[in-house]
Amino acid sequence: MGRMDDKVALITGAGNGIGREMALAFAAEGASIVVADASEDGGRATADAVAEAGGVAGFARVDVSSAAQVEAMVGFAMATFGRLDCIVNNAGIFPGDDGGVTETPEATWDRVMEVNLKGVWLGCKYAVPALLESGGGTIVNVASFVALMGAATPQIAYTASKGGVLSMTREIAVEHARAGIRANALCPGPVETPLLAELMSDPARKARRLVHIPLGRLGRPEELAKAALFLASDDSSFMTGSALVVDGGITAAYTTPE
């Protein structure tokens, strides 16, 4: 008996990092997975990995900032599996030139908002009717701990986009609570994925980040996948509109251990 038996879960950005681990974890609990990603290679690799582990997965290529493509992605899920029980809006970007408020290029701000904020809205916009048609379901929107804390190593557009994800998730949760849809946000701390690898390749920058993490290390993608599984499944049946923080203690700390 799996926690996601007979469920269909669509995960955006599942072609790499945290999303790939979510796909594997959800499939191991019995869900059929729609792996949605802009990268054909990454998405197909995840779908293959799910199948190799004995699970069921289909791949949908999508740019989550395109309404037409997101609508087609949800259509693919319904056409392939006949229902939709869960969407995880996980796709996100973290461009290198997203920095302080005065330096960040306008084009970078716009693209980050299109993918990280509009992309989550579009995922919800097209998934909600499919979830309702399937008798209700769950939405997990991936934000970040930076939606809750300020950083002296700023990524102004990224941070603003993740704050938007949190407030949007609350409103979607309240609007659809009585219709059987629960929506929660996941706020990861720094996690060892390709997204963070470039930033952490500089030892000084890595040390600067690690010093703020009470547990003294980065998170692992599978640790976030477990938290997403909790929010996606009936294990979190009395939670909606919440932000689940999985950050190694960052947001709890004023100072950290030596």
Residue 124 has which token pair?
A: 């919800």
**Site for ligand NAD (CB under 6 A): how many residues?**
30
If one asks whether residue 12 binds ligand NAD (CB under 6 A), the answer comes out as yes
126 is catalytic: no
Residue 85's φ and ψ, nearest 5 degrees, are: -110, -20
Q: How far is the CB of 65 from ligand NAD (least distance, A)?
A: 5
If one asks whether residue 191 binds ligand NAD (CB under 6 A), the answer comes out as yes
Q: How far is the CB of 200 from ligand NAD (least distance, A)?
A: 9
- Nearer to ligand NAD by Cβ, of 179 and 211: the residue is 211
- Nearer to ligand NAD by Cβ, of 144 and 240: the residue is 144
If one asks whether residue 63 binds ligand NAD (CB under 6 A), the answer comes out as yes
- Nearer to ligand NAD by Cβ, of 51 and 258: the residue is 51
If one asks whether residue 115 binds ligand NAD (CB under 6 A), the answer comes out as yes
- Nearer to ligand NAD by Cβ, of 18 and 84: the residue is 18
Alpha-carbon distance 7 to 14, whole Å? 17
If one asks whether residue 90 binds ligand NAD (CB under 6 A), the answer comes out as yes
If one asks whether residue 65 binds ligand NAD (CB under 6 A), the answer comes out as yes
Alpha-carbon distance 78 to 31, whole Å? 14
Query: Residues 123, 137, 190, 248: which binds ligand NAD (CB under 6 A)?
Result: 190
Residue 220's φ and ψ, nearest 5 degrees, are: -105, 145
SS3 of the chain: CCCCCCCEEEEECCCCHHHHHHHHHHHHCCCEEEEEECCHHHHHHHHHHHHHCCCEEEEEECCCCCHHHHHHHHHHHHHHHCCCCEEEECCCCCCCCCCCCCCCCHHHHHHHHHHHHHHHHHHHHHHHHHHHHCCCEEEEEECCHHHCCCCCCCCHHHHHHHHHHHHHHHHHHHHHHHHCEEEEEEEECCECCHHHHHHHCCHHHHHHHHCCCCCCCCECHHHHHHHHHHHHCHHHCCCCCCEEEECCCHHHCCCCCC
- Nearer to ligand NAD by Cβ, of 70 and 181: the residue is 70
If one asks whether residue 244 binds ligand NAD (CB under 6 A), the answer comes out as no
Query: Residues 31, 64, 156, 228: which binds ligand NAD (CB under 6 A)?
Result: 64
Q: Among residues 59, 94, 145, 158, which one is catalytic?
A: 158
Q: How far is the CB of 241 from ligand NAD (least distance, A)?
A: 19
Which residues, 125 to 154, sit near ligand NAD by CB under 6 A? 142, 144
Positions touching ligand NAD (CB under 6 A) are 12-13, 15-19, 37-39, 42, 62-65, 90-93, 115, 119, 142, 144, 188, 190-191, 193-196
Catalytic machinery residues: 158
